[in-house]
A and B are shown apart, each in its own frame.
Chain A
């Protein structure tokens, strides 16, 4: 019983050591989780940094958590990563000159298929 009280006491005090503004709110936690799932771990390229145990993934997670707590937006944090690691770091490709074809190719394909369909049904 004595031990239990000590443990509870230690738990409570250790918790209170973290000041209130250092702890992420529920919203921030959700945002943090959604960001780390979209960021590619460059050391082990088929994992997100949420899944990876690589040292760099841990560092980046810590960086992102710090920035989320500091009140940065998702857009700002993604830009922070893009500035350093380039387009490849995000799983969802950004819309730019280089990825223009990637983004519009489904539309082109759709137009072609509709055209072809109309032709054969005539």
Chain B
């Protein structure tokens, strides 16, 4: 037994290092999952009216942090549009336009289509910090009571929607 000890030690070290080699560094678990979404009060894009976190309670919703300067946001835009247009998917998508110019954002949506039920503008980025955002796009699934149930960093894709988000929504809607 004693003879094998160095070999066992080596294997444990080897496997744990090998594992971290393939770990996705960008995937940092959010401490906000399972917690109430941060409170906010933001103006609607291009308007003077405000929306608070209380206004979007009552329904399972997707909060999507995006900007016109963000390449990944263009990538996921088509998927967001199809989610918004599909009548069987009743999921309000709330956009938070992060550190952007209102004019550019409005133009962007005019050209590419608008999947958002509400678009809030966060030019300074304080609400994004409260949500723990560090790179757009980021998406949060919020349950009826305003708890964050899921977070995805980076562009949403169809496999992520089918395998992760859709089952979770069905579970939350029950």
Determine whether B72 belongs to the interface, using a CB cutoff of 8 Å to chain A: no
A43–B133 Cα distance when bound, in Å, is: 10
Check A42–B125 contact: CB distance below 8 A.
no
B-side contacts of A87, CB under 8 Å: 31
A-side contacts of B126, CB under 8 Å: 59, 63
Check A84–B130 contact: CB distance below 8 A.
yes
Check B25–A59 contact: CB distance below 8 A.
no
Check B99–A55 contact: CB distance below 8 A.
yes
Check B125–A84 contact: CB distance below 8 A.
no
Q: How large is the interface on A (under 10, 10 to 19, 20 to 34, 35 or more residues)?
A: 10 to 19
A56–B135 Cα distance when bound, in Å, is: 9
A118–B111 Cα distance when bound, in Å, is: 76
Check A86–B125 contact: CB distance below 8 A.
no
Q: Which of A55, A59, A84 lies at the interface centre, i.e. has the most chain B CB atoms within 10 A of its CB?
A: A84
Determine whether A45 belongs to the interface, using a CB cutoff of 8 Å to chain B: yes
Return the chain B residue nearest A57 by Cβ: B134
Return the chain B residue nearest A41 by Cβ: B134
Determine whether B29 belongs to the interface, using a CB cutoff of 8 Å to chain A: yes
Check A84–B28 contact: CB distance below 8 A.
no
Return the chain A residue nearest B35 by Cβ: A83
Neighbour of A60 across the interface among B25, B29, B31, B129, CB < 8 A: B129
A83–B132 Cα distance when bound, in Å, is: 8
Kindly provide the distance from the CB of A6 to the nearest chain B CB, expressed in whole angstroms: 33
B-side contacts of A82, CB under 8 Å: 31
Return the chain A residue nearest B153 by Cβ: A42
A57–B25 Cα distance when bound, in Å, is: 18
Given contacts A55-B99, A59-B125, contact A42 B130 (CB under 8 A): no
Return the chain B residue nearest A45 by Cβ: B25
Binary contact readout B16-44 vs A (1 if CB under 8 angstroms, 0 otherwise): 00000000010011111000000000000
Given contacts A42-B134, A43-B134, contact A86 B129 (CB under 8 A): no
Interface CB pairs A-B, < 8 A, 6: A55-B99, A56-B134, A59-B124, A59-B129, A83-B31, A84-B31
List 15 additional A-B contacts (Cβ < 8 Å) besides A84-B31, A84-B131, A84-B132: A42-B28, A42-B135, A43-B135, A55-B99, A55-B125, A56-B125, A56-B135, A59-B129, A60-B129, A63-B129, A83-B32, A86-B28, A86-B30, A86-B31, A88-B28
